[in-house]
Amino acid sequence: MNAEIIAVGTEILIGQIVNSNATYLSEQLAQQGINVYYHTAVGDNVKRLTDVLTTAKQRSDLIVLCGGLGPTPDDLTKQTVAEFVHQELVYDTQGYQRLMDYFANSKRPMTENNLLQALVFKDGEGIQNPNGLAVGIYYEDKVSHTHYLLLPGPPRELKAMFAQGVIPLLQRFNDENEQFISRVLRFYGIGESRLVTELSDLIEQQTNPTIAPYAKTNEVTLRLTVKTKDEASGNHLLDELEARIMARVGSYFYGYGDDYSLVEATVDTLKQAQVTLAAAESLTTGLFQATLGAIPGASAVFKGGFVTYSPAMKASLLQLDADWLAEVGTVSQACVEMMAQKAKQITQADYAIAFSGVAGPDSLENQPVGTVWLALATPNGTISSCQVFPHGRNEIRQAAVMYGLNMVRQAVLADHSRAK
Amino acid sequence: MNAEIIAVGTEILIGQIVNSNATYLSEQLAQQGINVYYHTAVGDNVKRLTDVLTTAKQRSDLIVLCGGLGPTPDDLTKQTVAEFVHQELVYDTQGYQRLMDYFANSKRPMTENNLLQALVFKDGEGIQNPNGLAVGIYYEDKVSHTHYLLLPGPPRELKAMFAQGVIPLLQRFNDENEQFISRVLRFYGIGESRLVTELSDLIEQQTNPTIAPYAKTNEVTLRLTVKTKDEASGNHLLDELEARIMARVGSYFYGYGDDYSLVEATVDTLKQAQVTLAAAESLTTGLFQATLGAIPGASAVFKGGFVTYSPAMKASLLQLDADWLAEVGTVSQACVEMMAQKAKQITQADYAIAFSGVAGPDSLENQPVGTVWLALATPNGTISSCQVFPHGRNEIRQAAVMYGLNMVRQAVLADHSRAK
């Protein structure tokens, strides 16, 4: 089945927003075994949208539209597609009721135009919107066998509707109960090209399951996808492939799933070990702690720390001797190790990490931009590491944070397994 | 002149990368007075790209293609468009020489396929690539008067080529030396809808200059654009319009330009006043300090501070009385004011800001998610504010940081102008 995606909205064409919905939908449709051959973005204009639909109908089996389902006059996707496929608009019972309930509960006045959001095609199916009021639509043209999906534009609404309402619909298109099962493996500390090299024979042999590597910022993922009529045997094939992959690159693996991140893995590791973490940051100026605090529930393991950007702050907040500091230099093993030890001692955390380095644009203490010293004070002593990250002030800071998270995760895992 | 943008690359259609080039090109073309009516993304496939070109030629005066100019076998944009417009490919002299020089200097072997990057259309013009080896192409079909622009896919290359090579080209399309001059005004603390309401008569009357409002996260910009044959009189028209705008909403204005940000304005204000800033962060866990530290040269005014996520850390790092803290609560005016004053005192900074609040997902101390207390200790006393930001853990943290930056900027500006 070949698909195309049509995003409707003038704000995309004037460069006000990025068409990230097309990216999301492409990735999701690929996971359902559906090939996407075109993306189009078109403005809120009946004539131009109709022209785009005419072209799309000639070349695609599935046309996914997003945007323009709201209550304002420039939301005209539903009306335009209805006209194009000669469908009458009728109220979706469930969507109509949700809309009525929403306005009754919120005590806000409901204007007439809001009701437009509950309209669907007479011979189509409404798709409920878990995060909004605009109902989605699925419709099959019984003559041309073209399938239409109309989805809302706000990404929060689109994603929730896709996961809950669209995926079950798409699974109807598969041959006799065939389904796709995916598993995402996440790796830190190995580049995409090396990962692909290590697994080259597995990737070349792939048929079912397939292996798709993706390079993300500072990490790589592998998506394993199996096509199967039976969930148990599908999972068994995935288990076998995963075991072969792990035997080669398992030391870089940190977790499963599309949305899991290295910081979540680190917080989970700290929680499981029931230990706490503090930090003293120089070049990252709080970015490590901000990254931790972005995870709900991080407060169970992360209590706080220091931002010691200037040498004077390192001396006063972390009680370091200013003369000694001038002698060893702030971008040094001695300095970060002392920073970590003092942070651990003052905060009484179980672990404390320290960062110092050269984020640029200028070099510092004769060390080139990108040089970063990290130290981790643990219950069993202090470990440290010097890394040189590629240029770009924020890229260096971000790379240092990721390296630090992994340093914490691995040390806690090692200490915890020893303690058992 | 009506334009459309065609991005070529299978990686866009499988959802591996976002089509951010289309967003950039749309914004840039709009600034040149060119309307973009369609975006298309298509894979590295001769047949499908040719079909897309056939449709585009029927509806657009200018077709901008990006991607597929590189040396690998899947880079086929140039060859496909050449075939489509019946143009022979010849070497661009300057591009050919740069390529030869590059491989001679880098001492890397040059394989034959690299030369493809220097090919241009026989009757077209080469556009030099300041950040890469693939030459861009401009070509006008003299029969249909369709204009073609072929640009490289990597954003670093595309943007530099657009700024240096494409803009001068596009200005030829304007009537006799007419040019567009733009000025961007940036506002914080006023929503887009209120800004538009305050300026509604100016926006309705607009012809030349035009006024285009853009809503960004937590801020709004206005782009004023004038079409003129004479730079001085164009700037005069912009000055007049700016004065009328500032008379109404000037209190929310913080700076000029596409790339300027509230944090840069805050760092600049601190630098001009020659004062220093420290911070004590609870719900933002370092995000305020990380945001400051992202600006090169921030170390001149920002020395460091505290992340005091737990009540115990507030008590120990900021020397607050634990019993008193339990009594007043951590999300309170009394607590943030004391946090700010202690942070100022311990770090000996001129100003210190403190944040405490409820980022969610759960409420805290019976206060709803989104409640944030901010305090700023200044040389002339402490000011504080309670805000309730819309839901979403990271949205609340981000909104609090922006509010805090503006609080610092305004207080320093006021103190500094008083001191003069």
Per-residue model confidence as pLDDT tens digits over B331-349 = 999 999 999 999 999 999 9
Our CA-based measurement puts residue B235 at a distance from the nearest CA of chain A, in whole angstroms, of: 24
Q: Which residue is listed with tokens 């609040």?
A: B357
Count of domains forming chain A: 3
Min Cα–Cα distance to chain A from B348, Å: 10
Helix or strand (DSSP H, E) at A138: strand A136-140
Q: How many CA atoms lie within 13 A of A145 on its CB side?
A: 4
CA angle A182/A185/A188 to nearest 5° reads 160
Whole-angstrom distance, CA of residue B390 vs CA of residue B382: 26
If asked whether residues A137 and A219 sit together in one domain, one would say: no
* pLDDT of res. A182: 87
Q: Do B26 and A15 touch (CB under 8 A)?
A: yes
Is the model more confident about A33 or about B160?
A: B160
Residue pLDDT, tens place only, B346-387: 999 999 999 999 998 888 888 889 999 999 999 999 999 999
- C-alpha dist (Å) from residue B383 to B158, B346, B375, B410: 47, 18, 6, 12
Residues A241 and A270 in one domain: no
Asked whether residue B174 carries a pLDDT value surpassing 80, the answer given is no
Interface size A-B, in CB pairs within 8 Å, comes to 222
Residues B1-13: b if buried by 16+ CB within 10 A, e if exposed: eebbbbbbbbbbb
Does one domain contain both A16 and A165?
A: yes
Mean pLDDT of B74-97: 95
A393-419 and A262-273 helices cross at what angle (nearest 10)? 30
Considering only alpha carbons, which residue of chain B is nearest residue A12? B23
Among candidates A15, A214, A302 on the partner chain, residue whose Cβ is nearest the Cβ of B309: A302
Across the interface, whether the CB atoms of A14 and B27 are under 8 A apart is answered: yes
Last residue of a domain, one of B147, B173, B199: B173
- Percent of chain B beyond pLDDT 90? 75
Residues A165 and A228 grouped into a single domain: no
**Best residue in B24, B162, B285, B331 for a mutation probing chain A (most A CBs within 10 Å):** B285
Which one of B5, B10, B12, B13 would you mutate to disrupt binding with A, by most A Cβ within 10 Å of its Cβ? B13
A210: chain B residues, CB-CB within 8 Å: none
User: Is B37 within 8 Å of A48 when comparing Cβ atoms?
Assistant: yes
Question: What is the dihedral angle through the alpha carbons of A8, A10, A12, A14, rounded to the nearest 10 degrees?
Answer: 160
Q: Are residues A128 and A239 in the same domain?
A: no
Q: What is the CATH number of the domain that holds B388?
A: 3.90.950.20
One domain, residues B201 and B154 = no
Look at B347 and A306 and tell me if their CB atoms are within 8 Å: no
CATH number, domain of A91, equals: 3.40.980.10
Nearest CA in chain A to B24: A15
Q: How far is B214 from chain A (nearest CA, A)?
A: 7
B130 shares its domain with B88: yes
Q: How is B216-253 classified by DSSP, letter by letter?
A: ETTEEEEEEEEEESSHHHHHHHHHHHHHHHHHHHGGGE
Instruction: Provide the whole-model pTM.
Output: 0.82
Closest residue in A to B2 (Cα) is A13
Calpha distance B161→B179 (Å, rounded): 19
Chain A residues with CB-CB distance to B15 below 8 A: 22-28, 30, 36
Chain B hits for A55, Cβ within 8 Å: 55
Question: Looking at residue A119, what is its pLDDT?
Answer: 96
The predicted-structure confidence for B107-138, as pLDDT tens digits, reads as follows 777 888 889 999 999 999 999 999 889 999 99
Regarding whether A228 and A166 lie in a shared domain, the answer is: no
| Domain range for A405 | 262-419
Mutation site for B-interface testing, chosen from A5, A307, A309, A350 by largest number of B Cβ within 10 Å: A307
Q: How far apart, in whole angstroms, are the C-alpha atoms of residue B62 and residue B187?
A: 34
Which residues on B lie below 8 Å from A357 (Cβ)? none
Q: Tell me which of A154, A173, A192 is where a domain ends.
A: A173
Number of H helices, E strands in chain A: 16, 17
* Preceding omega of A168 cis (within 30 degrees of 0): no
Q: How many CB atoms lie within 10 A of CB A248?
A: 12
In this complex, which of A20, A214, A360 lies closest to B16 when CB atoms are compared?
Answer: A214
Q: Check CB contact under 8 Å for A27 and B14.
A: yes
Q: Which residue has the higher pLDDT, B33 or B276?
A: B276
Cα atoms in the Cβ-side hemisphere of radius 13 Å centred on A387: 21
ipTM: 0.81
Sheet containing strand B210-216, edge to edge, reads B210-216, B219-228, B179-187, B253-256
Residue A199: count other Cβ atoms within 10 Å of its Cβ. 18
> Is A169 found in the same domain as A184?
no
Q: Which residues of chain A are within 8 Å of residue B284 when distances are taken between CB atoms?
A: 290, 293
pLDDT tens over chain A, length 420 residues: 899 999 999 889 988 889 999 999 999 998 888 999 999 999 999 999 999 999 999 999 999 999 999 888 888 999 999 999 999 999 999 999 999 998 888 777 788 888 999 999 999 999 999 988 999 999 999 999 999 999 999 998 999 999 999 999 998 877 666 778 889 999 999 888 788 889 989 988 888 898 888 777 788 899 898 988 888 999 999 999 999 999 999 999 999 998 899 999 999 999 999 999 999 999 999 999 999 999 999 999 999 999 999 999 999 999 999 999 999 999 999 999 999 999 999 999 999 999 999 998 888 888 999 999 999 999 999 999 999 997 789 989 999 999 999 999 999 999 988 776
- The answer to whether the Cβ–Cβ distance between A15 and B38 falls below 8 Å is no
Q: Report the distance separating Cα A230 and Cα A178, nearest Å.
A: 8
In this prediction, residue A176 carries a pLDDT of 64
Q: Does the distance separating the beta carbons of B23 and A17 come in below 8 Å? A: yes
Asked whether the beta carbons of residue B299 and residue A289 sit closer than 8 angstroms, the reply is no
Count CB neighbours of B360 within 10 A.
20
Do B266 and B221 share a structural domain? no
Q: Distance from A203 to chain B by nearest Cα, in Å?
A: 18
B230 lies in the same domain as B327? no
* Best to test chain A binding among B307, B325, B355, B391 (most A CBs inside 10 Å): B307
Taking the CA of residue A418 and the nearest CA in chain B, the distance in Å comes to 29
Same-domain status, B323 and B187: no
Does pLDDT of B420 surpass 70? Answer: no
State the Cα torsion A194-A198-A204-A207 to the nearest 10°: -110
User: A26 vs B39: CB contact, 8 Å cut-off?
Assistant: no
Instruction: Answer yes or no: do A14 and B20 touch at CB < 8 A.
Output: no
For the packed helices A46-59 and B46-59, what is the interaxial angle rounded to 10 degrees?
Answer: 150
Name the minimum distance, in Å, from the CA of B293 to any CA of chain A.
Answer: 6
**pLDDT above 80: residue B67:** yes
Q: What's the N-to-C CA distance of chain A in angstroms? A: 52
Q: Is the pLDDT of residue B175 over 80?
A: no
Q: What is the DSSP letter of B199?
A: T
Total length of chain B: 420
Alpha-carbon distance of A114 to A96, in angstroms, equals: 10
| Chain A residues within 8 A of B397 when measuring between CB atoms | 290, 293-294
To which residue do tokens 């770090």 refer?
Answer: B347
pLDDT at A175: 64
Look at residues B232, B256, B280 and tell me which one is the last residue of a structural domain. Answer: B256
In degrees, rounded to 5, the angle at the alpha carbon of residue B189 between the alpha carbons of residues B183 and B194 is: 80
Q: Where are the beta strands (DSSP E) in B190-349?
A: 210-216, 219-228, 253-256, 277-281, 302-308
In B, which residues are within 8 Å of A16 by CB distance? 27, 214
